[in-house]
A = this chain, B = another copy of it.
Amino acid sequence: MKYKIAVLAGDGIGPEIVAQARKVTDAIVAKFGHELEYTEALVGAVAIDEVGNPYPDETHELCMNSDAVLFGAIGHPRFDNDPSAKVRPEQGLLAMRKKLGLYANLRPVNTFKSLIHKSPLKTELVDGADFMCIRELTGGIYFGRPQGRTEDGQTAYDTCVYSADEIERIVRLGFEYAGKRRKKLTIVDKANVLATSRLWREVSQRIEPEFPDIEVEYMFVDNAAMQLITWPKRFDVMVTENMFGDILTDEASVISGSMGMLPSASIGVHTSVFEPIHGSYPQAAGKNIANPCATVLSAAMMFEYAFGLMKEGALIREAVDKSLEAGVVTEDIADGKKAYSTSEVGDWLENYIQ
């Protein structure tokens, strides 16, 4: 089979880490006899610089016509201290999510034996934690309207909106993933305060009987924020709305101690996007020191989720595991031992797969 991949490397370390992922995906298709057609396009600060738009129309067209999008990272420090900037890289991200209908952001959180000591949590609490966060990505307060100011500028408002259909789509996904895993689904909301959360709960409870083998629990978001730290192993699949998901998935990502290793997939109506959860890490850009593993593992998710190629995905994971065992790692996880460069890690993974 031939797959079309849109490559959106973006800002900072984006180009370097995506280059390593391509070495790996090339090695995979060579081995398994598939074909990949890559087309690069602009996104983020670099797109603002070149065409004045962080998610240009040509980029969108390309994504719409691709089987998957491999995404690096976006963001540049010159925007961080300038809240007044009219055009910002994040707007590109939000536009992409909305236009591609990327309704579900999936973030597996798991630990790596050789990195567990880097977790801020005590080892016994986090060792063996293995769960999947599913965040609704195109609804809620991120996109609800009206949003703005009253005429006098002295009052601001945002609107959180969810339709039953939006909720059903993502909650079903939660049930389905739970079915493929340890059959436990945690639905996180704030139903004791929010009308949208009460609709989430109503829709979820309506769907529940269709999945009798899944154990469902409803948890308030404040409680979830605590349980992620005090007892992360209790979770299997967690599903939640956009804003809560933004907070909880980032919280979840640091407990493993392996931020540089965590991939994500954003499942869309039109296509799906695969990207590391870490940012554009501008201080490291161009230095060939960034950890490419999160992007490489995002490519593994691409084979599995976008193309249904499970063996291909599994081999990539195996390669990453072996590279950790072999100590072929970048400085962020080298722990005083020899640190390899971004491209050396990429080469090692490519070789392993070949």
How many copies of the chain does the oligomer comprise? 2
Tell me, in angstroms, the Cα distance from A144 to B147 when the chains sit together.
13
Q: Which of A220-243 contact B (CB under 8 A)?
A: 221-223, 225-226, 229-230, 243
Among B222, B246, B254, contact of A246 (Cβ-Cβ < 8 Å): B222
The answer to the question of A162 belonging to the interface, with a C-beta cut-off of 8 Å to chain B, is: yes
Q: Interface stretch among A13-21, A42-50, A196-204? A: A196-204
A231 to B: closest C-beta gap in Å: 8
A330 to B: closest C-beta gap in Å: 19
Contact A156 B225, CB 8 Å, known A88-B192, A122-B122: no
Tell me, in angstroms, the Cα distance from A249 to B229 when the chains sit together.
13
Q: Is the CB of B147 within 8 A of A156?
A: no
Cβ contacts A155-169/B at 8 Å (1 or 0 each) = 111111111110000
**A201 CB contacts on chain B under 8 angstroms:** 83
Q: Is the CB of A225 within 8 A of B199?
A: no
Interface size classification for chain A: 35 or more
Tell me, in angstroms, the Cα distance from A196 to B94 when the chains sit together.
18
Q: Is the CB of A229 within 8 A of B247?
A: no
CB pairs A–B below 8 angstroms (9 shown): A120-B121, A121-B122, A155-B161, A155-B162, A157-B159, A158-B194, A190-B243, A222-B246, A226-B250
Q: Is the CB of B147 within 8 A of A195?
A: yes
A294 to B: closest C-beta gap in Å: 15
Instruction: Name the residue of chain B whose CB is nearest to the CB of A228.
Output: B251
Instruction: Name the residue of chain B whose CB is nearest to the CB of A245.
Output: B222
Q: Is the CB of B155 within 8 A of A158?
A: no
Contact A142 B195, CB 8 Å, known A161-B155, A222-B247, A251-B226: no
**A198 CB contacts on chain B under 8 angstroms:** 83, 156
Instruction: Name the residue of chain B whose CB is nearest to the CB of A251.
Output: B225
Q: Which of A50-89 contact B (CB under 8 A)?
A: 83, 88
Instruction: Name the residue of chain B whose CB is nearest to the CB of A148.
Output: B195
The answer to the question of A176 belonging to the interface, with a C-beta cut-off of 8 Å to chain B, is: no
Q: Is the CB of B191 within 8 A of A156?
A: no
Q: Is the CB of B158 within 8 A of A159?
A: yes
The answer to the question of A285 belonging to the interface, with a C-beta cut-off of 8 Å to chain B, is: no
Instruction: Name the residue of chain B whose CB is nearest to the CB of A155.
Output: B163
Contact A158 B195, CB 8 Å, known A222-B246, A250-B223, A253-B226: yes
Cβ contacts A115-150/B at 8 Å (1 or 0 each) = 000001110010000000000000001101001110
Q: Which of A105-122 contact B (CB under 8 A)?
A: 120-122
Tell me, in angstroms, the Cα distance from A164 to B150 when the chains sit together.
11
Contact A149 B222, CB 8 Å, known A154-B164, A160-B160: no
Tell me, in angstroms, the Cα distance from A144 to B155 when the chains sit together.
12
Q: Is the CB of A225 within 8 A of B248?
A: yes
**A251 CB contacts on chain B under 8 angstroms:** 225-226, 229, 251
